[in-house]
Amino acid sequence: MSTAFASKSTTPTAALNYCFERITLSETTHSLNTFTYLPPTNELRDQAAASSERYATNTQLSPIDGIPISVKANISWLNRPTSASSKMLEHYSSPIQADVIDRLTKSGAILIGQTNMDEFGMGSFTTNSAFGPSINSVPFLSSSTPPKHISPGGSSGGSASSVAFRSSFASIGTDTGGSVRLPAAYCGCTGFKPSYGGIPRHGTQSSSTMCSEARAPTTPPPLPPSPSPPKTSLSSLSIGVPGSYSVSESHPSITKSWVSAASTLSDSGATVTIFDDSLTSIQDSLAAYYVIACAEASSNLAKYDGVKFGSRIRDTDVNYSEEYANTRSKFFGSEVKRRIECGDTVLSKEGTHYSAALQIRNQLRDEYAAALLKYDVLLLPTSVSPPIDFDDANKNVDQNEMMANDLMTVGASLCGFPAISIPVSADPGEDFWVGMQIIGKHGDDDRVLDVANLVYEKLVVDR
């Protein structure tokens, strides 16, 4: 986009107007329910005009100057709603601004709106939202009549759906256990989770910290700004394919795409090795992830009591404890309450469950690190199953299926390693995208991005 702006082939104003048209189509015509908040259009038009003027005088602030970008609803935006898609924060206006928002605005990006999500990031389908579920926009891009209503993934489903529909040209999400990568896979987009410590979390409404407080003694220091990406060629690349992730629950088309991707990269000169003996903790990683996530959610969400901020039930006929309980019962959704109860349970067992989960995470991190000493990157699918079909009356959102779908993504999250999901084609007979995931060493974000570009060109562009 910045190249197009600089060459005068288009302008930030034209790009913004295009996004306005797409938002009207997605939200009004198709009811995709992608956004939870849209700023006044006159404010955005003023920002686009200022950006257009900067490009006209060659004084643009950055490569993202003038690009319409959406942000997830749990990222604090000064004096704007920051609901995290929860009734608890439905009318909450943030008094602070997240560091990532501050950096975007100072770089000239146009923040076009906040996107729908699973409440406090708890979910894999963007069905656990106080604003209702979001719909995957991909079927609405084709000529299929009528288009299927399928899940965009979660928890950053609104972000991925908005990018796929071009309601925004990029979106900022959060990824605790795969919440950026899974929606990217379902919506045919690219989704990147940087190394833990690479991007400040200040100003994010978190349910689980996953790699912070509990890992304080061993957490790596904040990463410095990344240098220019290293130049990599497929012929110099060593790719590990962890056979431990070949599970019976995986959809045949996803497994086929994984095998095909590895074969294509091998034929193109990369050294591709299938290994089975290194990541032995994978079988326990999903259980460890949910124990940690629920335990930290029960702690982190304790502050939402309606007293200092958030929704509140005021009842003079009950004591404070009852009012507190009534407030949380009314304004937290069912999935949030389920995870808080689960977290309270695992923490009440003298911490043994939580301690065991932390040990599994540490072991998994060591196993990943050892594997990445042998290989430059790891290659595996982003999900085990296609997106659920909301039109299927017999298909309810199964909690076990939701959790199982995180199997491919929680490893990189537990370890704090960089991971990216890139879209590859499914079988011709299938109507959904398959995401392929590339994982690298902690701090090796540039290499992961560079390899992802090479792999995408070989698997998608060159076909």
30 belongs to a structural domain? yes
pLDDT at 233: 87
Strand partners, 37: 114
Is 155 one of the catalytic residues? yes
Which tokens sit at 444?
């090796």
List the structure tokens of 290.
């949910």
Distances (CA, A) of 322 to 89, 315, 338, 345: 20, 9, 19, 20
CA 186 – CA 181 distance, rounded (Å): 9
- Report the alpha-carbon distance of residue 438 to residue 202 in Å, rounded: 27
- Residue with the two structure tokens 């306005």: 20
- CB atoms under 10 Å from CB of 198, counted, come to 18
Give the CATH number of the domain where residue 190 resides: 3.90.1300.10
Is residue 73 exposed (0-12), middle (13-18) or buried (19+ Cβ within 10 Å)? buried
Say which of 51, 52, 70, 72 is annotated catalytic: 72
Selected catalytic residue, list 76, 134, 151, 155: 155
DSSP at 229: P
pLDDT at 279: 85
The answer as to whether 128 is a domain residue is yes
Whether 385 is catalytic? no
Which of the following is catalytic: 179, 206, 244, 311? 179
> Are residues 168 and 70 in contact, defined by beta-carbon separation less than 8 angstroms?
yes
Q: What is the reported pLDDT for 119? A: 97
Q: Please name the residues in contact with 417: beta carbons below 8 A apart, sequence gap of 6 or more.
A: 195, 196, 368, 372, 439, 440, 441, 442
SS3 28: helix
pLDDT in tens, the chain (463 residues): 989 999 999 999 999 999 999 999 999 999 999 999 999 999 999 999 999 999 999 999 999 999 999 999 999 999 999 999 999 999 999 999 999 999 999 999 999 999 999 999 999 999 999 999 999 999 999 766 788 899 999 999 999 999 999 999 999 999 999 999 999 999 999 999 999 998 888 999 876 655 433 233 333 445 555 554 555 789 999 999 999 898 888 999 999 999 999 999 999 999 999 998 778 888 899 999 999 999 999 999 998 988 777 788 877 677 778 888 889 999 999 999 999 999 999 988 677 899 999 999 999 999 999 999 999 999 999 999 999 998 875 556 666 667 778 999 999 999 999 999 999 977 666 778 899 999 999 999 999 999 999 999 999 877 6
Q: Work out whether strand 238-242 and strand 377-381 pair parallel, antiparallel, or are unpaired.
A: parallel
Q: Is residue 192 part of a domain?
A: yes
The pair phi, psi for residue 292, each rounded to 5°, is -65, -45
In whole angstroms, give the CA distance from residue 82 to residue 274: 44
Pair of tokens at residue 457? 């060109």
**454 falls within a domain:** no
- Residue 234: CB atoms within 10 A of its CB come to 19
Is 226 a member of any domain? no
Give the length of the chain: 463
The CA distance from 423 to 438, in Å, is 11
Count helices and strands in the chain by DSSP H and E runs: 14, 10
Beta bridge partners of 81: 93
Query: Edge-to-edge strands of the sheet including 170-172?
Result: 35-37, 110-115, 68-72, 170-172
Region of residue 91 (left: phi > 0; alpha: psi -120 to 50; beta: else): alpha
Would you tell me how many other CB atoms lie within 10 Å of the CB of residue 384? Answer: 19
- Whether 368 maps to a domain, the answer reads no
CB atoms within 10 A of CB 462: 9
Domain count along the chain: 1
Distance (Å, rounded) from C-alpha 457 to C-alpha 461? 5
Query: How many other CB atoms are found less than 10 A from the CB of residue 152?
Result: 33
Type and span of the H or E element at 37: strand 35-37
The sign one gets for the Cα dihedral 25, 30, 34, 40 is positive
What tokens were used for 100? Answer: 């990532």
315 in a structural domain: no
Respond yes or no: is residue 72 known to be catalytic.
Answer: yes
pLDDT of 463 = 65
**Domain ranges, residue 177:** 2-205
The closest of 304, 301, 286, 278 to 403, measured between CA atoms, is: 286
pTM of the full predicted structure?
0.92
H-state helical runs in 375-396: none
